[in-house]
A and B are shown apart, each in its own frame.
Chain A
Amino acid sequence: MDRAMIRRDFPILDQKINGKPLIYLDSAATSQKPRQVIEAVEKYYHEDNANVHRGVHTLGSRATDAYEGAREKVAAFIGAPSERQVVFTRGTTESLNMIAHGYARKRLREGDEIVITPMEHHSNLIPWQQAAMATGATLKYVPMQRDGTVSLADIEATVTQKTKIVAMVHVSNVLGTINPVKEAAAIAHRHGAVMIVDGAQSVPHMAIDVQDLDCDFLAFSGHKMMAPTGVGVLYGKREVLEQMEPAHFGGEMIETVELYRSTWKEIPWRFEGGTPIIAGAVGLAAAIDYLKGIGMDNVRRLDAELTNYALERLSAVEDLTIYGPLGERGGLVTFNVAGIHPHDVSTVLDSEGVAIRAGHHCAQPLMRWLNVAATARASFYVYNTENDIDVLARALETTKEFFGHAIG
Chain B
Amino acid sequence: MQLDDLYRQVIMDHYQHPRNQGSIEGGVGDETLSVDLKNPTCGDEITLQMKIEEGLVTDVRFKGTGCSISMASASMMTEAIKGKPVEEALALAEEFRKMMKGEEFDADRMGDIEALAGVCRFPARIKCATLAWHALERGADKKN
Contact = CB atoms under 8 A, between A and B. Distances in A.
A135 interface: no
Contacts of B68: 341, 344
B42 A359 contact: yes
A348 B3 contact: yes
A351 B43 contact: no
Interface in A394-408: 402-403, 406-408
B3 A373 contact: no
The secondary structure that dominates the A interface is helix
13 contacts: A343-B42, A344-B7, A344-B67, A347-B6, A347-B124, A351-B1, A351-B3, A359-B41, A359-B42, A360-B42, A367-B43, A374-B43, A406-B12
A30 to B, nearest CB: 16
Interface of B: 1, 3, 6-7, 9, 12, 15-16, 41-45, 65-69, 122, 124-125, 128
Given A343-B128, A347-B122, A406-B9, A18 B1 contact: yes
Contacts of B44: 373-374
A358 B67 CA distance: 11
A364 interface: yes
Interface of A: 18, 341-344, 347-348, 350-351, 358-360, 364, 367, 373-374, 402-403, 406-408
Given A343-B125, A343-B128, A347-B122, A373 B1 contact: no
Nearest 10 CB-CB pairings of A with B: A341-B67, A343-B67, A360-B43, A373-B65, A359-B42, A406-B12, A374-B43, A18-B1, A344-B67, A351-B3
| Residue among B7, B15, B122 with most chain A CB within 10 A | B7
B41 A402 contact: no
A18 B121 CA distance: 13
A343 B45 contact: no
Given A347-B122, A373-B65, A373-B66, A407 B12 contact: yes
B46 to A, nearest CB: 12
A343 B7 CA distance: 12
A116 to B, nearest CB: 21
Nearest to B41: A359
A374 B42 contact: yes
B14 to A, nearest CB: 11
A228 B17 CA distance: 46
